[in-house]
Structure 1
Amino acid sequence: MDRSDLPPIPKDLMEALDKRFPEKSPSLKTSIDEIRFESGKRAVVRFLLDQYNLQNEKVIKTQVLK
């Protein structure tokens, strides 16, 4: 799937995901498996945030060019 194949990403979804899976540092007691698991979840949120920002940049550029 090409990155441009993603459907529009709603702002409220991104806000909810960012709140549910925030950037955070693990404690010293956190296992490496837990760190990897949590990191993977956050990586998906970062990917979607990047896509959301790209989609909105395209909308803004399209509106400015009209």
Structure 2
Amino acid sequence: MPIICEECGTETRVPLERLAETLERHNENRHDGEQIAQVDPDIADRIADMVANDLGLLEDE
């Protein structure tokens, strides 16, 4: 999963199973726990759309 931290100017990729731990550690160590680093917003949006589609939330009634 791609992670972006615009404040630090960094981008990296981590396996999905390490995503939460990596984000938490970076934000805790670099940003006093504030949620600055995040999954690439484009990827996060695509995943959210796929989940909504799987749940039938995007289908016409």
Higher normalized helix content (fraction of residues): 1
State the structure with more CA Rg.
Answer: 1
Q: Same fold (TM over 0.5)?
A: no
Q: Higher relative CO (CA 8 A, sep ≥ 6), structure 1 or 2?
A: 1
TM-score normalized with structure 1 length: 0.33
| Higher strand residue share | 2
